Amino acid sequence: MQPLKIAVLGSGKGSNFRAILNAAMAGQLKIQPVLAISDHPEAGLLSLAENLGVATQVVSEPKFRTRLSEEVETGLVEDIRASGAELIVLAGWMRLVKSPMLEAFPRRIINIHPSLLPAFPGLEAWKQALAAGVEKTGCTVHFVDGGMDTGEIISQCEVSILPGDTAETLHARIQDAEHRLFPEVISRFARREIL
């Protein structure tokens, strides 16, 4: 079976991309990153990709902060298609995905979110969980749809909220769970169990 070709979109440090790469190097999943895209030129995701010889791209969007304009997203669709990517992985991508990408890649775009969806969608979900006083939270891998963290859930991992937890300690444990769950889910796509 050929490695699954993935395009990764991220806005931050790239820790989930690093976890995916580490799992691939450990033989736990069979992938071939073909494109890394960020809306921040200094994103860690881009340097990780460049070090591996993976094509990188910076998306510039002057009009909107939380999404891409239709023209920019349409251009992104063309670039992803040209890369041959079979799965689009949102790893810390901080913009909503809209119709050009959703129509071009139905059930081929996945995201990881730091809560047990549908609870606590949106930004800083671990802080939302702490403020709500719940006993557990976690992370969710889901298909991306037109809403904010509303797509069909693929898999989840629970994380207990401990006495004395701060936003930082809880977020660190959720990230550890993300770094296990995301590669595990992607491996199911790589084995063609989901695709």
- What is residue 195's predicted lDDT score, i.e. its pLDDT? 66
Cis peptide before 33 (omega within 30 of 0): no
In the chain, where are the structural domains located?
Answer: 4-190
Average of per-residue pLDDT values in the chain: 95
Q: Is CATH 3.40.50.170 correct for 4-190? A: yes
What does pTM read for this prediction? 0.95
- The secondary structure element, H or E, covering residue 127 is helix 125-132
Distance CA 8, CA 20 (A): 10
- What is residue 63's predicted lDDT score, i.e. its pLDDT? 83
Distance CA 105, CA 24 (A): 23
Convert the pLDDT of each residue in 144-184 to its tens digit. Answer: 999 999 999 999 999 999 999 999 999 999 999 999 999 99
Spatial contact of 50 and 133, defined as CB atoms under 8 Å apart? no
| Residue of 40, 113, 171, 179 marked active site | 113
Tell me 96's DSSP state.
B
The answer to whether residue 113 is catalytic is yes
- What is residue 180's predicted lDDT score, i.e. its pLDDT? 98
